[in-house]
Amino acid sequence: MNRRIFPITMPKWGIEMQQGTVTGWHVAVGASTQKGDHLLDVETEKIVNSVEAPVGGTLRMILADSGATENVGALIGVIADASVPEAELQDFVRRFTPADASFEPAARQSSASSHEAPAAYSAAEAADGDTRVSPIARRIAERLGVDITRIKGTGRGGRISKDDVEAYAAAHSGAAHSDAAATLPAAPPVRHKLSSMRAAIGKRLLESSQGIPHYRVAVDVECGAVLARAQSSGTSDGKVSFNDLVVRATALALRQHPALNSHLVGDEILTFSTADICIAVATENGLLAPIVRSADSKTPAQIGSEIKALAERARAGSLTREEISDGTFTISNLGMFGIDRFDAIINPPQVGILAVAAVAARVVVKHGAPAVEKMATLTLSADHRVIDGAVAARFLDSLRSLLQSPESL
C-alpha cells in the first residue's frame, strides 16, 4: 500500500532568517486539512507569518509546540493519511535528514513531499532520539532540573509537552522547599525569555556595532521655517508633520548624495536610484522599520499618510515582508520623547542612519547677537568602509539647507 507521509518544516522567509518560533497551531492533531489551510503561525525576527498546509491529509504529529524555537528546516509536524500506522510515523521522524535550508518554503516542501523523499531538517533533538518528548519540553526540563523520564506525557501516544513538564515541576517543588520558604524573597524577579524578534534584533545590532566601523557627524538645524511649513499645511495637500518633512528632505538629500543611498554586500557597493527610507517604529515587541518606497518622488502629505498606515500595521503586527525588506536608508526619530541628541546603529547592509532629536528653543548667536531659535540636532552614523567624512558632511549640509528653506519640499 502506498501510504504518503508529508513533513511540515520550519519555513525560511528571506535570506537572513535562521530560526522561527511557533506561536500557535490552528489545526489539532487528528484533524483533517486541505492544501492551503492555515496550519500554524511562526514568529520571525520581525513579523508573524502563517504557514499553510502543503498538501491535504490528516495532521498526525506536532513536533514543535507553541513557544518552541526551531532552526529553519526543522521538522515541526507531520501530515499523513489516517491509515498510516503510528510506528511508521515514528520511523519517518527518526529517519528524517537535513536538506539545504537556503531554499524558500515552497521549493523545500516540493522537494520533500512524500515518505520516499523527506527533506529539510532532523527533528530529533533528544540525544536518545525519543520523539515522544517535544523539543521545548526537553529544554524546560533541563532548565528546571527535572528528570524527564519520571514524567507521564498527556499527549498523543504519551508525548510529553512543556505543560506536562511545568505541571510536574510545580507538583514536586512545594514539599521539597517548604522549610526554606520563609527565607526566600517575597517577590522573586520575573523571568521572560527573549522573543524571536528581540533576540534577532539584539544579534543584528551586536553584529552591526562590532562589525561596522561606525563614525558619527552631527549638525544643528534651525527648525522655525520647517515647523511653520508643517503648521501651514492641511488644505488640499493634507496635513503634514515635522517628521514627514524630515523624511522628504532626507530623500532629496540622498538623491544629491547617492553614496549614502547604498548597500554594502560582501565587497560590492550597491547604489540605488530611489530612496526607500526605513522609518523606525517602536512596538511592544521591539523596534520595526517599515519602508516608505520612493520617498524622493512623493509629497510630504503622501509620505505622512504612508507612515501613519505603516506605523499602525507595525504596532498591530500585520506588516508584510515586502514592507520591511530592502530599505536603502533609515531614519530614527526620538524627538517626541524630548531627547536632545543620540546616536543610532546602522541597519546593515545599509551604510547610514539618521538620528533625529527633539526640536527645542535654544539660545544661539545670530548676526553677532544672542537670539532664541527652535533648533534640533541631527546625527548621521555612517559606515567608514563606504562613506568618507567629507561625503557625510556634505550630505548633512544639504539636509540642513533643505530643512531651513523648506519651500522646495
Sign of CA dihedral 178, 184, 187, 191: negative
Helix (H) or strand (E) holding 329: strand 329-333
The grid coordinates of residue 265 equal 554586500
User: How far out from the chain centre does Cα 10 lie?
Assistant: 16
Residue 56, helix vs strand vs coil: coil
Among 401, 321, 352, which Cα is nearest to 44's?
321
To the query of whether residue 384 is one of the catalytic residues in this protein, the response is yes
Separation of alpha carbons 310 and 291, rounded Å? 8
Q: Is the peptide bond before 185 cis (omega within 30 degrees of 0)?
A: no
Name beta bridge partners: 334: none
The 8-class DSSP code of residue 218 comes to E
Q: Dihedral through CA 110, CA 111, CA 113, CA 116, nearest 10?
A: 160
Q: At 227, phi and psi to the nearest 5?
A: -65, -40
Which residue type sits at 337? F
Angle at 398 between CA 255 and CA 245, to 5 degrees: 75
Contact 50, 40 (CB under 8 A): yes
Residue 66 burial (10 A CB sphere; 0-12, 13-18, 19+):
middle
Contacts of 212 (CB under 8 A, 6+ apart): 346, 348, 383, 385
Q: Is the peptide bond before 349 cis (omega within 30 degrees of 0)?
A: yes
Separation of alpha carbons 272 and 263, rounded Å? 8
Separation of alpha carbons 326 and 328, rounded Å? 6
Contact 53, 35 (CB under 8 A): yes
Helix (H) or strand (E) holding 69: strand 69-71
Active site members:
384
